[in-house]
C-alpha cells in the first residue's frame, strides 16, 4: 500500500480503535474550503489540466521551495522569470527531475498529500521514484485528458460543498462572472484580499491606488474617497459570494487614529512621502478600518500576520512574489490587536479569525485572547503548521484555554487543487486521534467526541465563514 489505513492514528490499540470509529463518521463529510487559493479560471473554463508537471510541480511552493533548497534551479522546474529567460519547457523532463528528488519529502506533510493523491485518484501502489517516473507521468497524463478529471468533475468527486478563491480589489472577477452564468451549481466564491491597496510597501502601491479609483469611481487621492472605494469594492465582492476578507500583514499591529491623524497619514503614504514606520502605522490603521467595515457589512475578517514575505531578495527580483521564501516572524498579538479589540472585540456581529506562523503564541496569546473576546476565533492551520505535528500541537496548546468552539475547523491554504482532499483527510485523522486520546484517558465521553469530530471537520468552518 502507498498509504496505510492507520496513518496518523494512535499507536496504542484502545485509542486507535476509538480513532477509527470517530474517523468513520467524518471521513466522507463534505469539504468546506473557505480559505483556498485555487484559480477561479479552473472552474470558469473547466478545461483539462495540461500535464502532470503543470498541475503538481510548477504552481506548488511546497514542492519547489524544497527542491530549490537542495540546489534545483526554479528555471529547471519550468518556473519563468519576470524577464522571460530560458526555462525548461518539457513537462516530462520537469516531472523526471521532481521524481528523482522525491526522497527530499520523506516525513513531510507534502509527501503525505502527494501519496494520498497518487493512491486515491490514480491507483498507484508504489512510491514515486526516478525509475517509475515515466509510468507515473503517462498514467496521470492519460487520466487528465478524461472528463472525470475536469475541474468541475473533480469538485463533485471531492464532495466540495463550497470553496473560496482569493482576489485583489483590482481584480475584475471575470472568472466568477463566467461561473455565475455557466449553469453549473458548484459553489465557488471570492474573498476580498486588499493588500495591494492597503500596504504602502506592496510593489506598485501608488499606481494601484490610481487604478482603485478608476475601478470604483471614487477619489482615492483623498482619505474619505479611499475608504468609500473599499466599501464599494467590498459590496461588489459580496455580490460574487464573498463572505470574508483576508489580510496578509507582516505584523498584528493595529491602530485607532483620530480622523485627522489618519487623513494626514494617508496623504503621506499616497504621495510617496512615507517611511517604514508610516507604512506600518498605515497597515495598522487599515486593519481597524477593515474591522469597522466588517461590522457594517457582516463580512468575516481574517488576519495572517507574522511572515517576512519574499525574504530571498534575489529570487523575488527574478521571479516575483510567492516563490516559497516567506519566513515566520515572532508576532505580538496581545499588544498589537488591542486598539482594534478595544473598539470591536465585543461586537456580537463581528467575526475576526486569527492565523499564525508563530507557534509559540498559541497558548501564551492566541488561546487566551480567543477564549475571552467574543469576536475572535482561531484558524488552526496555515502554511508551516498544516502538518500533522503542527495540527496536534495546535489542539494541545489551545484547547485547554479556548476549547474547540473558539476555533473554526480546518482551513486548507492551498494552490494545489488535487491535494485538497488529502489535506482535509489529514486534518480529520489528526483530530480524531487527539479526541480518541481524550476518550481513553477519560476526559471526554465517546458520544461527545463524535460530535466534536463532526464540528471540527465540517460545521465550525461552515458557520464561522457564513457558508
CATH of the domain at 230: 3.20.20.140
Q: Which of 149, 166, 197 is the last residue of a domain?
A: 149
Supply φ then ψ for residue 32, to 5 degrees. -110, 120
Check residue 7 and give its pLDDT.
Answer: 97
Q: Evaluate whether 165 touches 188 at the Cβ level (below 8 Å).
A: yes
Q: Does 389 lie in the same domain as 279?
A: yes
Domain assignment present for residue 311? The answer is: yes
Q: pTM of whole model > 0.75?
A: yes
**DSSP string for 283-350:** HHHHHHHHHHHHHHH--EEEE---EETT--HHHHHHH-S-SS--EE-----TTTTHHHHHHHTT-TT-
Domain assignment present for residue 2? The answer is: no
The length of the chain is 467
**DSSP string for 400-432:** HHH-STTB-------S-GGGHHHHHHHHHHHHH
Q: Does 359 lie in the same domain as 393?
A: yes
Nearest one of 1, 24, 120, 114 to 429, comparing CA atoms: 24
Residue-by-residue pLDDT tens, the chain, 467 positions? 899 999 999 999 999 999 999 999 999 999 999 987 889 999 999 999 999 999 999 988 889 999 999 999 999 999 999 888 889 999 999 999 999 999 999 999 999 999 999 999 999 999 999 999 999 999 999 999 999 999 999 999 999 999 999 999 999 999 999 999 999 999 999 999 999 999 999 999 999 999 999 999 999 999 999 999 999 999 999 999 999 999 999 999 999 999 999 999 999 999 988 899 999 999 999 999 999 999 999 999 999 999 898 999 999 999 998 888 889 899 999 999 999 999 999 999 999 999 998 989 999 999 999 999 999 999 976 666 788 999 999 999 999 999 999 999 988 877 789 999 999 999 999 999 999 999 999 999 999 999 999 999 999 999 999 99
Q: Evaluate whether 331 touches 308 at the Cβ level (below 8 Å).
A: no
Please state, in angstroms and as integers, the Cα–Cα distance from residue 4 to each residue in 9, 25, 115, 116, 120, following that order.
10, 19, 10, 10, 12
Please state, in angstroms and as integers, the Cα–Cα distance from residue 59 to each residue in 52, 55, 141, 240, following that order.
11, 7, 17, 25
Please state, in angstroms and as integers, the Cα–Cα distance from residue 197 to each residue in 38, 205, 260, 298, following that order.
22, 6, 20, 21
Check residue 447 and give its pLDDT.
Answer: 98
- Taking the C-alpha atoms of residue 461 and residue 126, their distance in angstroms, rounded to an integer, is 35
Q: Does 193 lie in the same domain as 333?
A: yes
Bridge partners for 32 per DSSP: 162
Domain assignment present for residue 199? The answer is: yes
Check residue 323 and give its pLDDT.
Answer: 87
Q: Does 284 lie in the same domain as 213?
A: yes
Residue with cell 480524531: 432
Domain assignment present for residue 4? The answer is: no
Q: Does 109 lie in the same domain as 26?
A: no
Q: Does 406 lie in the same domain as 311?
A: yes
Q: Which of 149, 165, 184 is the last residue of a domain?
A: 149
Supply 46's cell numbers. Answer: 473547466
Q: Does 144 lie in the same domain as 30?
A: no
Number of domains in the chain: 2
Domain assignment present for residue 232? The answer is: yes
Helices 13-26 and 446-454, interaxial angle, to 10°? 40
Q: Does 188 lie in the same domain as 135?
A: no
- Taking the C-alpha atoms of residue 418 and residue 194, their distance in angstroms, rounded to an integer, is 27
Domain assignment present for residue 8? The answer is: no
- Taking the C-alpha atoms of residue 415 and residue 387, their distance in angstroms, rounded to an integer, is 16
Domain assignment present for residue 237? The answer is: yes
Q: Evaluate whether 187 touches 159 at the Cβ level (below 8 Å).
A: no
Q: Does 78 lie in the same domain as 36?
A: no
Q: Does 369 lie in the same domain as 303?
A: yes
Check residue 381 and give its pLDDT.
Answer: 65
Count the Cβ atoms, other than its own, within 10 Å of residue 122. 17
- Taking the C-alpha atoms of residue 271 and residue 342, their distance in angstroms, rounded to an integer, is 31
Q: Evaluate whether 451 touches 26 at the Cβ level (below 8 Å).
A: no
Q: Which residues, in sequence order, are CB contacts of 362 under 8 Å at separation 6+?
A: 356, 393, 394, 397, 398
The domain that holds 66 is classified in CATH as 1.10.2020.10
Q: Does 135 lie in the same domain as 234?
A: no
Q: Does 249 lie in the same domain as 110?
A: no
Domain assignment present for residue 5? The answer is: no
Q: Which pairing describes strands 160-164 and 31-33: parallel, antiparallel, or unpaired?
A: parallel
Q: Which of 127, 149, 171 is the last residue of a domain?
A: 149
Q: Supply the range of the domain harboring residue 108.
A: 48-149
Amino acid at each position: 500500500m502507498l498509504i496505510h489505513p492507520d496513518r496518523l492514528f494512535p499507536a496504542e490499540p484502545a485509542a486507535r480503535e476509538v480513532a477509527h470509529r470517530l474517523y468513520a463518521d467524518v471521513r466522507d463529510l463534505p469539504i468546506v474550503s473557505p480559505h483556498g487559493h485555487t484559480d477561479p479560471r479552473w472552474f470558469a473554463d473547466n478545461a483539462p489540466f495540461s500535464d502532470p508537471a503543470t498541475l503538481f510541480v510548477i504552481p506548488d511552493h511546497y514542492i519547489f521551495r524544497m527542491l530549490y533548497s537542495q540546489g534545483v534551479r526554479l528555471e529547471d522546474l519550468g518556473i519563468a522569470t519576470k524577464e522571460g529567460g530560458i526555462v525548461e519547457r518539457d513537462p516530462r523532463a520537469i516531472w523526471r527531475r521532481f521524481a528523482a528528488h522525491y526522497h527530499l519529502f520523506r516525513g513531510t506533510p507534502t509527501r503525505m498529500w502527494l501519496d494520498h493523491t497518487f493512491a486515491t485518484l490514480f491507483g498507484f501502489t508504489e512510491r514515486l521514484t526516478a525509475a517509475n517516473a515515466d509510468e507515473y507521468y503517462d498514467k496521470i497524463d492519460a487520466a487528465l485528458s478524461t472528463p472525470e478529471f475536469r475541474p468541475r468533475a473533480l469538485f463533485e468527486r471531492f464532495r466540495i460543498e463550497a470553496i473560496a478563491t482569493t482576489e485583489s480589489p483590482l481584480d475584475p472577477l471575470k472568472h466568477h462572472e463566467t461561473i455565475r452564468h455557466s449553469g453549473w451549481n458548484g459553489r465557488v466564491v471570492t474573498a476580498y484580499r486588499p493588500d495591494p491597496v492597503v500596504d504602502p510597501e506592496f510593489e506598485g502601491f501608488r499606481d494601484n491606488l490610481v487604478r482603485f479609483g478608476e475601478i470604483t469611481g471614487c477619489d482615492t487621492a483623498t482619505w474619505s474617497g479611499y475608504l468609500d472605494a473599499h466599501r464599494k469594492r467590498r459590496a461588489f465582492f459580496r455580490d460574487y459570494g464573498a463572505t470574508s476578507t483576508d489580510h496578509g500583514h507582516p505584523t498584528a499591529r493595529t491602530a485607532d487614529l483620530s480622523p485627522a491623524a489618519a487623513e494626514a497619514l494617508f496623504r503621506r503614504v499616497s504621495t510617496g512621502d512615507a517611511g517604514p514606520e508610516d507604512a506600518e502605522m498605515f497597515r495598522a490603521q487599515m486593519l481597524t478600518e477593515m474591522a469597522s467595515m466588517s461590522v457594517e457589512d457582516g463580512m468575516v475578517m481574517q488576519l495572517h500576520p507574522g511572515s517576512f514575505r519574499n525574504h530571498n531578495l534575489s529570487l523575488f527580483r527574478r521571479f516575483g512574489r510567492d516563490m516559497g521564501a516567506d519566513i515566520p516572524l515572532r508576532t505580538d498579538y496581545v499588544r498589537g490587536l488591542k486598539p482594534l479589540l478595544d473598539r470591536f472585540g465585543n461586537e456580537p456581529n463581528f467575526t475576526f479569525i486569527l492565523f499564525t506562523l508563530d507557534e509559540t503564541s498559541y497558548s501564551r496569546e492566541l488561546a487566551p485572547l480567543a477564549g475571552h473576546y467574543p469576536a475572535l476565533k482561531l484558524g488552526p492551520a496555515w502554511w508551516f503548521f498544516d502538518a500533522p505535528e503542527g495540527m496536534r500541537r495546535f489542539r494541545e496548546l489551545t484547547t485547554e484555554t479556548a476549547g474547540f468552539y473558539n476555533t473554526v475547523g480546518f482551513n486548507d491554504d492551498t494552490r494545489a487543487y488535487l491535494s485538497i482532499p488529502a489535506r482535509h483527510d489529514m486534518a480529520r485523522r489528526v483530530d480524531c486521534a487527539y479526541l480518541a486520546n481524550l476518550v481513553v484517558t477519560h476526559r471526554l465521553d465517546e458520544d461527545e467526541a463524535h460530535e466534536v469530530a463532526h464540528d471540527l471537520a465540517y460545521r465550525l468552518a461552515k458557520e464561522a465563514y457564513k457558508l
